[in-house]
A and B are shown apart, each in its own frame.
Chain A
Amino acid sequence: MDRTLPRHTPAAWRFSFPHLTHTLRRTVATALPPAVVLLGALLAWDLFVRWSGAKPYLVPSPGAVWRRWWGDLGFFYGEGLVTVQEAIGGLALGGGLALLVAVVVAHWRALERGVLPVAIAVKVTPVVAVAPLFTIWFGFGPLPKVLIAALITFFPLLVNAITGFRAVNPTTLALLRALDASPARIFFTLRLPSALPYIFAALKVSATLALIGAMVAEWSGAGRGLGRVVLLAHSNLDMPTLFAGVFTLASLGVLLTGTISLIERRLLFWHEAFWSHE
Chain B
Amino acid sequence: MAPSPTTARAGARVRVRALSHAYRVDGALRPALADVSLDVQPGEFLSIIGPSGCGKSTLLRLVAGLLPVQWGEVTIDGAPPRAAQRAKALGIVFQDHALLPWRTVEANVRLPLELNRARRTGERVAELLDLVGLRGFGRYYPHQLSGGMQQRVALARALATDPPLLLMDEPLAALDDITRTELRLELCRITEQTRKTVLFVTHSIGEAVLLSDRVAVMTRAPGVIRAVVEIDLPRPRGPDSDTSPAFVEYVRRLRALLWEG
Interface residues of A (CB under 8 A from B): 169, 171-172, 174-181, 185, 189-190, 193, 269-272, 275
Complex CA distance for A62 and B20, rounded to whole angstroms = 78
B101 contacts A271, C-beta separation under 8 Å: yes
Chain A residues touching B, majority SS: helix
Q: How far is the CB of A32 from chain B (nearest CB, A)?
A: 31
Known A178-B85, A189-B111, A270-B141: A171·B100 in contact at CB below 8 Å:
no
Q: In this assembly, does B94 line the interface, its C-beta being within 8 Å of a C-beta of chain A?
A: yes
- Give residues of chain B (59-98) contacting chain A, Cβ–Cβ below 8 Å: 61, 64-66, 85-86, 88, 90, 92, 94, 96, 98
Q: How far is the CB of A183 from chain B (nearest CB, A)?
A: 13
Contacts of A180 in B (CB 8 A): 85-86, 88, 115
B115 contacts A171, C-beta separation under 8 Å: no
Known A171-B96, A270-B141, A275-B143: A178·B64 in contact at CB below 8 Å:
yes
- Give residues of chain B (156-200) contacting chain A, Cβ–Cβ below 8 Å: none
B94 contacts A175, C-beta separation under 8 Å: yes
Q: In this assembly, does B259 line the interface, its C-beta being within 8 Å of a C-beta of chain A?
A: no
Contacts of B92 in A (CB 8 A): 174-175, 178
- Give residues of chain B (22-72) contacting chain A, Cβ–Cβ below 8 Å: 61, 64-66
Contacts of B142 in A (CB 8 A): 270
Q: How far is the CB of B215 from chain A (nearest CB, A)?
A: 24
Q: CB < 8 Å: which of A171, A176, A185, A270 contacts B101? A: A270
Contacts of A172 in B (CB 8 A): 98-100
Contacts of B147 in A (CB 8 A): none
Q: How far is the CB of B33 from chain A (nearest CB, A)?
A: 18
- Can you give 24 contacting A-B residue pairs, CB < 8 Å? A172-B99, A174-B92, A174-B94, A175-B94, A176-B115, A177-B66, A178-B64, A178-B66, A178-B92, A179-B85, A179-B88, A179-B90, A179-B112, A180-B85, A180-B88, A185-B115, A189-B100, A189-B111, A193-B100, A270-B101, A270-B141, A270-B143, A271-B101, A272-B143
Instruction: Give B141's nearest chain A residue, CB to CB.
Output: A270
A270 contacts B102, C-beta separation under 8 Å: yes
Known A178-B64, A180-B85, A271-B101: A171·B94 in contact at CB below 8 Å:
yes
Q: How far is the CB of B146 from chain A (nearest CB, A)?
A: 14
Contacts of A175 in B (CB 8 A): 92, 94, 98
A169 contacts B141, C-beta separation under 8 Å: no
Q: How far is the CB of B175 from chain A (nearest CB, A)?
A: 16
Q: How far is the CB of B104 from chain A (nearest CB, A)?
A: 10
Q: How far is the CB of A88 from chain B (nearest CB, A)?
A: 26
Contacts of B85 in A (CB 8 A): 177-180
Q: CB < 8 Å: which of B98, B102, B111 contacts A171? A: B98
Instruction: Give B61's nearest chain A residue, CB to CB.
Output: A174
A172-B100, A180-B85 provided; 19 other pairs, C-beta below 8 A? Answer: A169-B98, A172-B98, A172-B99, A174-B61, A174-B66, A176-B115, A178-B64, A178-B85, A178-B90, A178-B92, A179-B85, A179-B90, A180-B86, A185-B115, A189-B111, A190-B100, A193-B102, A269-B102, A270-B101
Complex CA distance for A45 and B92, rounded to whole angstroms = 66
Residue among B66, B100, B111, B143 facing the most chain A CB atoms (10 A cut-off): B100
Complex CA distance for A172 and B150, rounded to whole angstroms = 14
Instruction: Give A185's nearest chain B residue, CB to CB.
Output: B115
Contacts of B64 in A (CB 8 A): 174, 178
Complex CA distance for A28 and B260, rounded to whole angstroms = 68
Instruction: Give A182's nearest chain B residue, CB to CB.
Output: B115
Complex CA distance for A177 and B111, rounded to whole angstroms = 13
Instruction: Give B161's nearest chain A residue, CB to CB.
Output: A179
